[in-house]
Structure 1
Amino acid sequence: KIYEMVINNDPCYAYLLYANSTVDQKLVMAHVYAHCDFFKNNVYFAHTNRKMLDEMGNHRTRIMKYVYRYGQDMVDDFIDACLSIDTLIDCHAAAIKRVRDKTETSLNGIEKVVKKLHSTRPYMDRFINPPDFLKEQAEKLEDEKVQERHFPESPERDVMGFLTEHAQLEKWQRDILSLLREEAYYFLPQGQTKILNEGWAVYFHSKIMTTRALKDSEVIDYADHHSGTVAPYPGRLSPYKLGYELFKDSQDRWNKGRFGKEYDECENLVEKAKWDKRLGLGLKKIFEVRKLCSDITFIDEFLTPEFCRDQKLFTFAYNQSADQYEIASREFKKVKEKLLFQLTNFGHPIISVVDGNYKNRGELLLKHEHDGVDLREDYSKETLKSLYKIWGRPVNIETILEGVPKVLCFDGEEHKEFRP
C-alpha cells in the first residue's frame, strides 16, 4: 500500500511508509515533490504559516498545560466542540478585509460630540471639564453607539472568529478556540485547491517516473499503481483523475492554440478537430494555472464541452420510482454548474452570524444561505449543541426546510423549531 503524507512547511516534510516497495517509494517521493512545489508557488497558500510544525508544537504545549490544570476530559470535550465547527470560517478572509479596523475610531473624533459642562469663565473650563471627565463621557458615548449598532453590524462569515472575540469563555477556552481557528485557516487552502493540487502532483509524478526514475523492471508495477491512483471513484469525483486530465488537456490546448476568439468562432468542426498552431505554450500555461488558480477558477475557466465529452462526465440523480440513481444529464452547462456547486465552500452550507444579542437575551442567531439543499437534521442538531457549549447561551439558526422558513434552536436542554 502507498501512504503519503506531506506537510506545507519551510522546508516541507514528507514521510514514507517503511513497508512500501522501492518503486512505490519513488512514486511517493515524485508525487510529494510536486505538492511541495504547489505549496510554495500557489497564491492561495501565500498567507499560510511556513513554520507551522513549530507552531503546532507550541499549540500542543499550551493544550497539555490546560490538560494538567483542568483535566483531560474537560479539555477534550471543549476541543471536540471547537473542531466540530472548524468549517465555519470565512474562506475569503485572506484576500478580503470585511470589518473596519478598530483603531480607525479615535478618541479625538469622539470628543467633538461630547457635551461639556457649561462654564461662564474660560479659565475655569479645565477644572469643570477635566480630561478624565471628558474621556469618561467619550467612553460612555461610544458604548451607547455600540449598543445602537447591530451586533455584528453585518453578517459575519467567520463564526469561529466571532466566538473567539465575543463568547463568554474562560481564558484557556478562548486560547484553545483561537489556536484551532488558526489551524483551520492553515488547512483552508488544501480544501480550496484539492483538484488542482492532486492533478499537479499526478502530472509531475508521471513525468518524473517515466522519464527519470523508473527502471525497466519497475514499469509494470508503476503502471499498476499509477492507474489505481487516477482510476475514477465509484459514485464520487476523483480529484486525482479530474485534475490530471484537465492539466493535460489545458497543456494540449495551449500547445496547439485551441483557445481565443478565432478558435471559439470557428464553426467548421473538421477544421477545429485538426487545429494546431504549434504555439508550444502549454507548459508555460499550466505553470501559470498552478500559480494563480483554485479549484473553482480552474474548473470555471478550463473545463470545456469537448473535455466533458471525452471524459464522459455527467450528473446523476435519484429516481424514486426506480429506487436507484440514474444519469440525469450529460449537458456541459449542467455538468459544470454541478461541479462548481460542489466546490463552493467545499460543499458545506454557508452560515453566518447575524445577531449576537438575539431577542435582546444574549442568544446567538445564525443564518443559513439556502441554496436549494436543506440542512441535515442530525448534523444541524449536533452543531447547535457544540455552538451552545462555546457560546453558553441558546443558539438559533435561520434556514429553510422543505420550502418553509424555520428557526432551529438549542437551549442547552432540548431542540426546538419555530417560524421566524
Structure 2
Amino acid sequence: MKSTRLPAHLEQARQEIEQIARSYGLDFFPIIYEVLDYRTLYETAAFGGFPTRYPHWRFGMEYDQLLKGHIWAGSTIYEMVINNNPAYAYLLEGNEDVTQKMVMAHVTGHVDFFKNNMWFAHTNRKMLDTMANHAARIQRIIDRIGYDQVEEFIDTCLSLENLIDYHAPYIRRPEAVTPRPLINDEEPPVVEGLPVEREYMRDYINPPEFLEAQRRKLEAERARQRRFPENPQRDVLLFLMNFAPLENWQHTVLEIIRDEAYYFAPQGMTKILNEGWACLHGESLIVTDRGLIPIRDVVTQRLTARVSDGQRRQTVYDWNVFTAYPTVTIRTRTGLSLTGSHNHRILLANGEWRRLDELHCGDQVRIAGGTELWATTPATLRRRPKLKRVLAYVPANTAAQSVLARHRSYRRTAEVVVDETLAAQLGRSCTRRADHRALAAICRSPRPQVVAFLRTFCAGTPRLADNSVTIACPTDSVAATVQLLLLNLGVLVTRRDTSLHIADAAALERALLAPSTPVAWTDDIVAIEHGTADVYDISVTETHRYAAQGFINHNSYWHSTIMTKHVASAAEIIAFADLHSGVVATSGGRLNPYKLGLELLRDIEDRWNKGKFGKEYEECDDIALKRSWDKQLGLGRQKIFEVRRLYNDVTFIDEFLTPEFVMEQKLFTFRYNRDTDLYEIASREFKEVKEKLLFRLTNFGQPVILVEDGNYGNRGELYLRHRHEGVDLKMDYARETMRNLYKIWTRPVHLETVIEEKRRLLSFDGRDFSERRMD
C-alpha cells in the first residue's frame, strides 16, 4: 500500500514551521499530515474532510464536481484540515514544496483556533472516529431496511439540519418533556374521590369541595397535556427525536444528522475570525461561463460559476456580501474602471499583487484580454423589439449581406430567446439609445450572439487613416460594457466617455471571425477615488484570482508572516507571493479574514497597546487627548489571543465595535427608496450600524423557528413560530420545510410568521397548503 506520510524534507519543514508557530504563541493539537493523490483527496473533500461518511448521493455529486474541476479546469485544493485531536490535514501529491509549506503554516493557525476558542470547546475531538461509527450504523440500517428508503429519509433530515439551537451546548434551556401521551382519545376520566365501603359514608369521606378540587386539578393536568412543550423549543430536531412517531432506525438517522450539524456549527459561528476575503462593488462585471454578469448576481444567487483567472478556468466555491464598506475606485488610461474594498488586490504589470488603497497614479496594472469565456446557453428577454432589416458588419473584401427578419409583434410580457438575428438587431438599436436590459442579455449570451451584436453595433464605422476605428456609443455605461465585451474577445479598446477607439481595426475583424487566445496588456492608473458601497466577495479555487472589469483580481487575503519571515527560501518567495501574498492579521495569525474583522483586530491591538480602554479613557471628554492617548501598555498581542479564545463573530462585534471605529471607517446603514429607485444612506448612528451588523450574523442570518405546541388544537398537530426580526420568510423555502416536517411528524404542520407586516398562519395537511390572517 502506498505510503501517505510526509517525505523527509517536508517532515523537516513541518517541525520547523510548528516550532516557529509556537514561538509566536500559537498552541495547537498535534497535526497529522497525509499526502494524497488527487482522487483520494477529492473523495475526502467531498466527505467534508473525513475519510469515511455514511453513503448518500450528495457526496457523490460533490466528488464528481470536484474531480471534473481538477481534470478539466486544473482546479486544486490547497488546504483541508479537520477539527480533531490529533488534527488531520491533507496535502495534494505533486504540489510544489512552497505550496506544501504554505499549507502547513496556515493549518497551524486553524488548529490553534480550534483548540483554544471556547465555541469549539464542546465539539467532539474524536469526530474522525465518530464519523466512521455513523457510517457503519447507517450502513447496517441500509442492509436491513433498503437503500432507497433510507436515502429518502436522509434527504428529509438534511433539509432540516439547520433547525437546531446553535447555543445549546453553552446554555441550558428548559427541555420539552412530558410524561403523558400526545393524544388521549379515551373519554375523560371521572373524579370519583376516595374509595368507600359503605355508601352512607361517601359524602363524609368525599365532600363536594374535595371532589371539585380534584376535578380542577385533573382539568389543569389535561390542559397541560394539550399544550406542550411548556416552553418554546429552538432545537426542532431534538423535539422531533423526542416526540415524533419515528421508527428506531429513523430515530438513529435523525440523531446522526443532528450530531453532525452541531459539530459543524462552530465553524459557521467563527467565520469572520477564522477565514478571509476581499471584495468588489456589486456592479462589477465578472467573466463567467454564464456570461459577463455583475458579481452581485453571482453572490446573491450563490452561483457555482466557472471564471477565468486570465489563463485558465476556475470555480467559485464561496460567496459573501458586506454592506457600507470603504471602497477605492481606480481608472486607467484606456478608460477601464474598478471599484472594490480598499484591501482588495489586483495584479500589477510586474506580477506583483497590490491592494487598491496602496496604488498610486502612474502604477501599471495587468489587463486581461481574450479570455473567451462566454455563456453556454442563449439569454432571454422579457420583450422582443420589432425586427427590421439591418446591415451586418463583415470583414473587409467580403460581400455585404443583410440580415433579414420578419416583422413580428410580441406582448411586452413575452419572454423570447436572444438568437443571432435578434442580437444583430439589438446591436443596431443600441447604437441609438441605451437599452440596458438588451445589453445585459447580450452579456449573458454565447459567443455567436455577442459577435452578431458587435458586428451591427460597429457597422458603418469608417476606418481612419492610421487603420484605427472610433465607435460612438449613446451613453458612458453602454461604452463601458461594450469595451469589456471586446476585451473578452481579445480586442484592446480605449474608452473616452461615450467613444471607443480601437487602434487596430484588423484586430477587431480577426476577433469577430475566430476565438483568440488570452492576451495580457498593461495599463496606467490615471485616477483614484475613495467612497463607500456594498461590496461582494467570491472565493475561487486554486489560483484564487479571477478576471473582472478587465483586471486580474485576487480573492484571498491570508496571513503569511511565518512563510515570508522564517520558512520560505529566497528561491521560493516569488512562487509563494504568487500563491498567497499580503499580510492580513496583526497577531500570530489567521484569526481574521474579513475586512471588518481585520480592521477591528487592528483597532483592538492598537487600543490595548496604547491603553485606550477602561474607566479613565471612557470618561475622558477631550477628543484631542483621546486621539493622542498612549499609555504604552503593550497589551495588544495578549488581547488578540484573548479574543481568539473567548469570542465568536457576534460577541466579537458586539464587544469591540466602538463609535470611534464606526466613525473612522465611515460605516452606515442604507435602505432602498422605491420613489427614486435608489439606495440611500439610512443612518450613520453607531447604534443602528451595530444592530445591522449583529442582525446579519445572529443565527447565521437564518430565520429562528421555535416549537410552540406539539398538540395544537388537541389533535397532535405541530405548531411552529417564526421569530420575525424584520425579514420575511422565503415562501418557497418555508413550504418545502413544512412538507419535510410533515413527513417526520406525520400530522399537519402550522407555521406562524409575519408577511408584509401582517401575522399569518401557514398550514400544510399533507396534501395542500393554506394561509390565514391572524390579526
| Conserved? CA contact 2:650–2:694, under 8 Å | yes
Amino acid at match of 2:236: V
The TM-score with structure 1 as length reference comes to 0.82
- In 2, the alpha carbon distance for the partners of 1:103 and 1:374 equals 33
| 1:229/1:240 contact within 8 Å kept | no
2:233 maps to 156
SS in 1 for 2:238: helix
Could you say which residue in structure 2 is the equivalent of 1:366? 720
Check the 8 A contact 2:176/2:229 in 1, yes or no.
no
Matched, 1:387 2:741: yes
- Alignment: residue pair count: 384
CA pair 31-142 structure 1, distance change in 2 beyond 3 A: farther
Contact 1:2/1:24 (<8 A) preserved: no
- Which structure is higher in helix share? 1
The one-letter code sitting in structure 1 at the alignment partner of 2:243 is H
Residue 567 of structure 2 corresponds to 213
Give the corresponding residue for 2:247.
Answer: 170
- SS across alignment from 2:707: strand
Change (3 A) 1:204 1:419: closer
Larger Rg: 2
Q: CA deviation at 1:207?
A: 3.1
Two-structure CA RMSD over aligned residues (Å): 3.2
Given the superposition, is the C-alpha separation of residues 119 and 102 from structure 1 closer, same or farther in structure 2, using an over 3 Å criterion?
Answer: farther
**Residues 262-318 of structure 1: CA deviation (Å, up to 9, x unaligned):** 222333333333222110111111111111112111111112234334545443433
Distance in structure 2 (CA, Å) of the matches to 1:22 and 1:245: 32
Distance in structure 1 (CA, Å) of the matches to 2:595 and 2:570: 25
* Corresponding position of 2:45: none
SS at match of 1:267: coil
Distance 1:292 1:375, change over 3 A: same
In structure 1, the partner of 2:631 is: 277
Cα 1:230–1:325 shift into 2, 3 Å: farther
Show the counterpart of 2:441: none
Distance 1:319 1:222 in 2: 47
2:157 to 73, 82, 89: 82
Superposed displacement of residue 410, structure 1: 1.3
Query: Higher mean Cα deviation, 222-231 or 92-101?
Result: 222-231
Counterpart amino acid of 2:239?
A: F
Deviates more, 1:54-63 or 1:333-342: 333-342
- SS where residue 255 of structure 1 aligns? helix
Paired residues of 2:560 and 2:581 also in contact (CA < 8 A): no
Aligned residue among 654, 671, 676 for 1:300:
654
Give the secondary-structure state (helix, strand or coil) at the position aligned to 1:77: helix
Gaps of 5+ in 2: 1-75, 180-191, 199-216, 277-555, 586-591
Q: Is the 8 A contact 1:30 1:205 kept in 2?
A: no
Q: Are residue 8 (structure 1) and residue 83 (structure 2) matched?
A: yes
Equivalent-residue separation in structure 2 for 1:65 and 1:339 (angstroms): 46
Classify 1:265/1:210 alpha carbon distance in 2 versus 1 (closer, same or farther; 3 Å). Answer: farther
Q: CA deviation at 1:221?
A: 4.5
Which residues of 2 match residues 199-238 of structure 1 at below 5 A? 205-226=559-580
Q: CA deviation at 1:15?
A: 1.8
Aligned to 1:111: none
Q: Percent of counterpart pairs with the same letter?
A: 59
- 2:485 counterpart of 1:410: no
TM-score with structure 2 setting the length: 0.46
Q: Residues 200-349 of structure 1 correspond to what in structure 2 (within 5 A)?
A: 205-226=559-580, 239-321=593-675, 323=677, 325=679, 328-349=682-703
Tell me which protein shows more strand as a share of its residues.
2
| Aligned match for 2:709, one of 355, 368, 374 | 355
Mapped to 2, the partners of 1:246 and 1:382 lie a distance apart of: 39
Shift of 1:230: 6.0
Note closer, same or farther for the CA distance 1:372–1:157 as it changes in structure 2 (3 Å cut): same
Change over 3 Å in CA distance of 1:417–1:274 after alignment to 2: same
* Residue 64 (1) aligns with residue 139 (2): yes
- 1:42-191 map, 5 Å: 42-99=117-174, 117=195, 145=221, 148-149=224-225, 150-191=227-268
Letter in 1 for 2:769: H
| Separation (CA, whole Å) in 2 of partners of 1:46 and 1:357 | 36
